[in-house]
Structures are given as C-alpha cells and as structure tokens.
Amino acid sequence: MEQPNLSYIHSMSGGDKAFEQKLIAIINAEFPEEKKEYFKNLAAKNYKLTAGNVHKLKHKISILGLEKSYETAVAFENNLLEGRTTLQDEFESILTTMTNYLQQL
Amino acid sequence: MNCIIIDDEATARAIIGQLCSNVDSLTVLEEFPNAMQAIKYLNQNEIDLIFLDIHMPDFTGFDFIETVKNPPKIILTTSDPNFAIQAFEYDCIVDYLVKPITPARFQKAIQKAEATPNKSSHTDESSSEKVESSSGNDLYVNIDRRLIKIDIPSIYLVEAKGDYIHVKTEDKNYTVHSTLKKIADKLPDSIFLKVHRSYIINVDKIIDIEDNSVLIKKDVIPVSRSNRPELMKRLNLL
C-alpha cells in the first residue's frame, strides 16, 4: 500500500524546519478531530456531512503525498454525495495508515 | 498587498500563511476560520487581497463573495477543481488554486493578483426572481407522499440546500424536495423577500439587521448586495 511522506511539506517549507514542525503539530491536532467528526456523521448516516468531512481530510491526504489515496478519497466523497458508502473500507484504511505515520513523527 | 486568509482548516491557513511569508509584497493581517468573522473585519478594514476557501460549513466562499460589498481581489483556494467556471463569473476572483498548493503555482497567482487592477465583483445581475402573491394563507408541501399544510405567515425562513429547501416555521421545520424559485412563487411578496440566492425571509420576523446580514429568530442570514436595496425599501425606517 502507498505510504505517506513529507515531500510536499519539505517542498513548500523552503527548508524552514521550525515551520515543518509547526505544521506537523497542527495536522496532529486537527486530524483526530476531523476523523472523529467523520465517524460520527457516518454512524448517523448523514452522508452529506460525511462527504464534507472527507473533503477536508483529503487535503491532509494530499499533504502527506498519498496521490492514489487522494483519488480514492475523491471517489468516496462523490459516492457519499450520492448516498452510497462504496469505498468506505478503502478510505478508512487510508486513515489508519495516516494515523500510524503521524504517530511516529 | 495587505491580505487575509479565510479557511476553516487550520492546516490550510498555516500553509497559505507560510507561502505568503515568502513573498515580500504580501502582509497577512488576519486569518479567519469562517467567513462571518471575516465579513465583520472587512467592514472596518481595507484589504487588497483575500485567500478564500470555497468549502466551509454554513457559509461557503461564494456566499461570502455575494455578501461583501466591493470585495477586494480574491484568490480561491480549494480541494475541488469543479468550481472553476463558476469562479470566473466574478470579476474579483483573480485566480483559483487547487490544494495542495505548490510554491510555484502560488507565485504565479500572486503575480496575477499584482497585475490585476481592483474591480467590483459580480457580472451576473440578471437573476431577479419573480415573486407572486399567494391568495390563501396555507401552503401544502409533499413530504413522504403526504401533503402537509403549513400556515404561510408562520414561515420565517426558507433556505435552499442542493435539491431541497428547508422551510422553517414558528414551531416546526420541514425539508422539501423543491426549489427556492417554486416556493417563492407561492409566497406573498407583501411579507416575503429573497435576500440571497439561497434564502427567502419573512420580513415581519426580522430581529435586527447588520450591514450584510439579518438576524431572524436565531439564524444569521446573509444579504447579497443586489437584494439589499429592496430589503431596505421594505423596512419602516425612522
């Protein structure tokens, strides 16, 4: 499976290590909250709100260099907007990969 | 250029802030997690450029543009490439950045912004809705194959959400598969007014009005520039 990386963060930080640390800290603070909202709205079958959560999460997927996973998230978001949960397992697997990666940074 | 950043995602605000810090001609004055806070700020401060997210809960980037009087130059920042055509209906939008934003693409957007003279906002002034009075006091809506009667004067707000409208009354709210245009044709124009492309309000139920919004019950509703003169005409001003 595709693995996260910090290529994008390095490319846009211009070598500013303090900023890189700050950005990772922000992602680490924001990501669990966004996941929580996602699972809450999904459990309530509020797929429109869940699509909004996926929309927000997919930015972080792209920041961590997960290009194929990003496409999965786009497709899953569209499915949710049509009231379907197809690709849910694949999307949640991406979230798990990101969670594990962020924990070790 | 003095600029502000409006994005509900802290990560996005941090990235745009960092990209701005690498451009000598840019000064970030403020960051906002939602559009309503930014509107209040803009009422009191002169800004040259706004980095504006489209997808925000409750109040989208496009709602924001419709609401602000004489918006400055705007660079849209979004994860969704599908709004580009809609974006360029607005003269104030100088560029459209898809996240994740790369430094090279960001630089190009800034160059465009610097080369673009200040303009006023929207080019489409043709969407004036026809509002006709309804003869009776009741409106029937089809919900789950039942026709439900709603007392028209009790309606205080109608909100368009995609293929549905939310009809809010004194004691109950209804979600109906319909359009704002259809219900506007059924509501009497003596008490109802479309104040925004997504909202019709009962003018009698207004609690107060700020520059670009009205408070109606507990809902703060944006008022677009094109609808504001009609709203002001309808008020019994001292």
| Nearest-Cα residue of chain B relative to residue A16 | B18
What are the residues facing B213 on neighbouring strands? B210, B222
CA distance B117 to chain A (A): 28
> Is B8's CB within 8 Å of A11's CB?
no
For chain A, list residues whose CB is within 8 angstroms of any CB belonging to chain B: 8, 11-14, 16, 19, 22-23, 26-27, 29-30, 48, 52, 55-56, 58-60, 62-63
Enumerate residues 6+ apart whose C-beta is below 8 A from B48: B1, B2, B3, B72, B73, B118
ipTM: 0.94
Exposed, middle or buried, A16 (CB in 10 Å: 0-12/13-18/19+)? middle
Please name the residue ranges forming H helices in A1-105: 7-13, 17-43, 47-63, 67-81, 88-103
pLDDT at B70: 82
Residues A9, A66: contact at Cβ < 8 Å? no
- How far apart, in Å, do the first and last CA atoms of chain B sit? 40
In angstroms, the CA B33 to CA B55 distance is 12
Which residues of chain A have a CB within 8 Å of the CB of B58?
none
| Nearest-Cα residue of chain B relative to residue A78 | B80
pLDDT at B118: 66
> Is A26's CB within 8 Å of B11's CB?
yes
What are the residues facing B183 on neighbouring strands? none
What tens-digit pLDDT sequence spans chain B (238 residues)? 999 999 999 999 999 999 999 999 999 999 999 988 898 888 888 899 999 999 887 788 988 888 887 889 999 999 888 888 888 788 899 999 999 999 999 999 999 999 987 654 333 332 323 223 344 688 888 776 677 888 899 999 999 988 788 999 988 888 888 889 889 988 988 899 999 999 999 999 999 998 789 999 888 999 998 888 888 888 888 7
> Is B100's CB within 8 Å of A56's CB?
no
Instruction: Please give the distance of CA A48 from its chain centroid, rounded to a whole number.
Output: 17
Which residues of chain A have a CB within 8 Å of the CB of B79?
55, 58-59, 62
In angstroms, the CA B122 to CA B135 distance is 35
| Nearest-Cα residue of chain B relative to residue A7 | B102
> Is A26's CB within 8 Å of B57's CB?
no
Would you state the structure tokens that stand for residue A13, as one six-digit string?
């930080």
Of B22, B79, B102, Cβ closest to residue A55: B79
Domains and CATH numbers, chain B: 2-115 (3.40.50.2300), 138-234 (2.40.50.1020)
Which residues of chain B have a CB within 8 Å of the CB of A29?
10
Cα angle B133, B156, B64; round to 5: 100
> Is B103's CB within 8 Å of A60's CB?
no
Of A19, A55, A59, Cβ closest to residue B100: A59
| Nearest-Cα residue of chain B relative to residue A77 | B80
Sheet strands (E) in B69-198: 73-78, 93-98, 138-143, 146-151, 155-161, 164-169, 173-176, 192-196
Helix (H, G, I), strand (E, B) or coil at A87: coil
Exposed, middle or buried, B102 (CB in 10 Å: 0-12/13-18/19+)? middle
Residues A9, A60: contact at Cβ < 8 Å? no
